Structure formats: C-alpha cells, structure tokens
Structure 1
C-alpha cells in the first residue's frame, strides 16, 4: 500500500479571497458582513471558508493583517516611515489621505473603522488596532525626526507634533467613513499640514 501524501492544497487563490474579504469588511464593517455574503462574493462554500480560515472572526483578523501589509505598510504609512524628505514625506502622506476627498464611496481606514466598531474588541482584533496606532505614531515620528535633522523644524518639537497629528489622522478617517462634508475634512487636513510645518 502506498503512503498517503499531504492533504491537497485548497483549490482557490487564498490571497485573492483575502483581498475580496478585506474590501467587504472595509466597506461594510465586521457586523454587517455575514458568512453567506462572503460565500457569495468569493464563490466558496461555508465549509471551505471554515476549513481554510476558521471562524468569521478568524477571517476578519486575517483580513486586518492583509490590510496592514498591503495598504498601511506598502502604501499609506510605510513610505512616510521610510522616506528621506522630512516634512515632504508627511505632506505626501496627508495628500494620500486627501485623495479620498472627492471619492463617491469613501471608506476611511479599515483599522480606524474597526476601532470605532468594537467597543470591547477580542484580543486578536485589539492586537491589530494597536499595531496600526503604533505604526502611525512611528511613521509620523520617523518623518518628523528627519525633518528635525534637516533643519525644517525644531528638534524638541518632534514628539509634540507627532502626538498632535495622531488623533487628527484618526479623526480624519472617522469623518471620511461617516461621509462627513468634504469641506470639513479638507479643513482638518489643512490644519494637520499647518501643524506639521509650523
């Protein structure tokens, strides 16, 4: 009798499924997305989803991790953390935030939306929202620290500017997800830009 090989890999693209699910949670939130919704969007059965990802909460946590890697690290915050231009890196980040101002459907930030949705988050969710806040703070501090090295701002103002900008970024994302008036969000971004530079 021949030995049985390892189990067959899932006959679907796990990354593509996670990207689809991430966009669903990003647009609608955790509570509003049901497993039947996920099945319909991905073409997978409930059993396939559970066997591959676990519970709905497990799937959500995997989507948060995917968001962190592909949106926050690769696009939104990572470039600011790794940049070399100081205040221009902060400005470019705020420009990326502002790119949603005229969007027909603006979703804000999945991590910030999750903070707003979960009043008492499970530990696995709290870990990811804390990871987001840490990355945001670190990225701003890194860019502002370079600005200080370049002589663009006083060195002793880096921490104060960072701690003032973090809640402004959170507030901007919350206002975006809430479809707040464009002018209100534009003024908040303008205030953030002024705080960073002066």
Structure 2
C-alpha cells in the first residue's frame, strides 16, 4: 500500500505562521500567496494538509484560542492574587499599543470580520468567548473566596464585564488610543471591581 511521501514540514509551525498572518491581516486580506510565503508550503501541500484557506483559518484560529487560554490559566496560577492577574490582563493591552501596527485581539478581529456570516466560524467564536470568560470567571471566583471583591455580582457577570472591557481596550488600542488614555480606563476598571 503506497502511503505517499512523508510530510517534510512541521504542522504546528505551519499553523503558528498562518495564525500570525491571519491575526495581522485578517481573513479576507490574506491571499493564498501570503499563506504560501508565510507557511513555506507549496500550494498542493497546503491543500493536501489543510483542505483550503477557510479550513486553515479555522485551525489557526483554534490554535490562537487554545494557546491564549492555556497562557492565561498559567498566568492566573502564578499571579500574586486573582486581582493582580486581572490587572496584568488589562495592562497587556499596552504591549500591543507599543507595536508599530497594533493587531488587537484575534477573537475581536474575527468577530468583527465574520459577524454572523459564517455558521462554522460563529461556533468557533462562541466557543472562544466561553473559554476566555471561563478564565475570568475562575479569577473572580478566587477573588470572592479570598474576600478581595464583594459577592454583589456573580463571578460569571464579572467575567462578562471583563471580557467586554478587554474587547473594548483591544479595539481602542488597534484604533490608536494613547497609552495614558488606556491606563486611565484600566485604573477606572480596577477601582470599580470591589
């Protein structure tokens, strides 16, 4: 039985490079040629391994979500406190603001680009949103258990708020909001978490 030639590329590296490209340019603005250059694949290898541009995008977006959620959970575990973790998350927008061309959040970018136009991507967006909110909910559960925030709002409601704040900050960063303005918002958010 002929199994064909073995792969001569690292699928994880291909997905990482595709993810970085889609994150920077978006789905529509990313051409097949861009993908071939970024992944160093031939057209036939790309199609044989990933199906088509849409399938590669979906896999790359899923990789983004998985890597970011894993990273956030590790940061939560290592943080001085759950509120220190929340502050770190808010301050992370400043890193993007320092880039020559801020990318924003890939989840926000994908949501804005696709909206509800593609049911498969919409399901991926919904799953990603639940997973990110889940990390924030865990942080707020810990904060309530430690007496760092009141129990006036449920951790799930606070997580929803945090997700919306982060989305807004990432969008404003991408739009060019100055760092001092971003810091003003971050300080207001932290002051109102009690």
Please, what TM-score do these two structures have when normalized by structure 1? Answer: 0.86
Gaps of 5+ in 1: none
C-alpha distance in 2 between matches for 1:57 and 1:184: 37
Q: 1:191 to 1:143 in 2, by over 3 A?
A: same
How do 1:158-177 and structure 2 match up within 5 A? Answer: 158-159=154-155, 160-177=157-174
Q: 1:47 to 1:122 in 2, by over 3 A?
A: same
CA RMSD after TM alignment: 2.0
Contact 1:101 1:185 in 2 (8 A): no
Residue aligning to 2:56? 59
Q: CA deviation at 1:60?
A: 0.4
C-alpha distance in 2 between matches for 1:38 and 1:78: 30
Q: Give CA-to-partner distance per residue, 1:63-105, whole Å, 9 cap, x none.
A: 00111122x1232x32355467221221222233333232323
Q: How many residues align?
A: 192
Gaps of 5+ in 2: none
| Alignment partner of 1:108 is 2:104 | yes
Contact 2:65 2:128 in 1 (8 A): yes
Please, what TM-score do these two structures have when normalized by structure 2? Answer: 0.88
Q: Single out whichever of 95-104 and 112-121 deviates more from structure 2.
A: 95-104
Contact 1:80 1:90 in 2 (8 A): no
Q: SS at the partner of 2:187?
A: helix
C-alpha distance in 2 between matches for 1:47 and 1:134: 35
C-alpha distance in 1 between matches for 2:88 and 2:139: 11
Contact 1:98 1:189 in 2 (8 A): no
